Amino acid sequence: MRKSCLVSVGVLLGACGPSMTPEHVKTPDEIVQHQSSLAPGPQQADEGSDEGYVDESDAEHQKKFDERQADLELKRAARSAATCGGVVEGGPRGTAKVTLTFQNDGHVKDSSVAPPFAETEVGKCVLRAMAAVVVPNFIGPEKTMEWEVNVTEPSKKGEGSKK
């Protein structure tokens, strides 16, 4: 009986051994310190390498106006605006010259379309499509871009298909 009591006490002591958690509640500073020690740091250059790692932060990347993304977005909008000739009856057709000014949050601040499209329903349709473009945020002066949209005649469906 005595042996079984000693074994039981030994098992209990082993199971209730030292805890791996601190004996107090962590302060916010301790939590941040612990989390930052777990997070990987910036990639370091190899000891034998002459090249250093350049980490472009979001702020540095955001400084640049993204010409490539703006070009993609304007092409999409121009395809949409080209259909204005088929949606709006009457009015001019051909190449509409659009000027857009982007503000730093990426939205169009100002837009205009050159004559003969100015002040026409087709021109308003083109401006609605083009002014909906949103580019990535950027830092610096506002960016003005000019773009051409080919507004075509509406296609005549079914022409020549009757027998």
Domain ranges of the chain: 67-151
pLDDT digits (tens, 9 = 90+) for 19-59: 555 577 878 788 878 777 776 655 544 444 445 555 556 65
What average pLDDT is seen over the chain? 77
Q: How far is the first Cα of the chain from the last one, in angstroms, to the nearest whole number?
A: 109
Phi, psi torsion values for 149, nearest 5 degrees: -120, 125
Q: State the pTM of this model.
A: 0.56
What CATH code is assigned to 67-151?
Answer: 3.30.1150
Rounded Cα distance between 26 and 5, Å, is 38
Mean pLDDT (whole number) for 67-94: 88
Q: Is 50 helix (H, G, I), strand (E, B) or coil?
A: coil
Beta strands at 108-113 and 143-151: parallel, antiparallel or unpaired: unpaired
Contact 155, 85 (CB under 8 A): no
Percent of the chain with pLDDT over 70: 65
